Copies of this chain bind each other. A is one copy, B any other.
Amino acid sequence: MAIRLVEIAQHVQATLQGDAELQISAIAALSSALAGELSFIVEPKYLANLKTTKASAVIMTRELSAHWVGNALLVDDPYLAYAKAAELFKKPTGITSGIHDSVSIGANCQIDPSASIAANVVLGDRVTLGKNVSIGANTVVGNDCSLAANCELKANVTLCDSVTLGKACIVHNGAVLGCDGFGNANDHGRWYKIPQLGGVRIGNDVEIGANSTIDCGALGDTIIEDGVRIDNLVQIAHNVSIGAHTAIAACCGISGSTKIGRHCMLAGQVGIAGHLEICDKVILTGKAMVTRSITKPGIYSSGTGIMDNTAWRKSIVHFRNLDKLVKKIKQLQKNSEVNDELAIRC
């Protein structure tokens, strides 16, 4: 597969500099690109790579083009332009519309004729699949689920009952949506299961990573708004609400009834306790431990980065004894004041 540079320029709305007819065979990073390939430079700090790259064309800003004499696609946002260019190089998925012979379909389903349903998929009752919906092999969809146009469930996904997906959502392999929340009432030392009666409501253009889990609501729904991106192995508990265009990296856990705002970014392994509110535009760095609501946009962090094990052992002993240490310092301050007085009197 090769694509002319001018076609890519049109697709990403770039100003073309150089050979419009150049045949591009692939996209690659500056450092690994070969002749015939297209690359991109996002930040000036990669200018050294630009000097040595074998790429035959590079996506860049007008500013950086002063450092490059070859073929270029000039854009305002090279990273976004790379994302758009990459679309042209996707392999065909082999998805063809139609329903495989082995598919099980429940009662009263509404399936658009353009939908594609792969082998061994099982649909419950009253499932609605919109235009161009695609469901991968061995995926299971429960009762009363609804998938709007252009949704894609990959292979081995599970949707439990009452899960609603807006347009153009992607659910990756092994993800489970609508499973029971962790609701238990204590009955004299034994746990009594609280039936989880709600569903999951997901907006348009949402992506959910492999093996992530999103609980149904206990009462009412768990809500994921438009444009949210959730990575792999993320846990979203019952009745959580996630605002539009928020991105959540792998291995995060969000506890029940917590409400996360719009345009937030959570790095990997963040944990948020239950019943909190995180306002819009909050950035949480990796492993952040959130036990209180956040009312002001900004970057928040917690944890201690790695240290050499020997030094770390000393620091944690002192951490445990911080209260004693603070008391010692207070005593020193008192002594110091007494000494000051005595000194003055001297």
Chain A residues engaging chain B, CB cutoff 8 angstroms: 26-29, 32, 77, 79-80, 82-84, 86-87, 89-91, 93-94, 100, 102, 104, 106, 118-120, 122, 124-125, 136-138, 140, 142-143, 154-156, 158, 160-162, 170, 172-174, 176, 179-180, 182-187, 189-195, 197, 205, 207, 209-213, 215, 218-220, 227, 229, 231-233, 235, 237, 245, 247, 249-251, 253, 255, 263, 267-269, 271, 273, 284-292, 294, 298-309, 311-316, 318-320, 322-323, 325-326, 328-329, 332-333, 335-336, 338-340, 342-343, 345-346
Contacts and interface: CB of A to CB of B under 8 A. Distances in A.
Copies of this chain present in the complex amount to 3
A311 to B, nearest CB: 7
Contact of A233 (B180, B235, B268, B302): B235
A271 B328 CA distance: 33
A193 B323 CA distance: 47
A328 B287 CA distance: 30
Nearest to A309: B299
Contacts of A267: 273
A309 B318 contact: no
Contacts of A313: 301
A161 B91 CA distance: 10
A303 B302 CA distance: 8
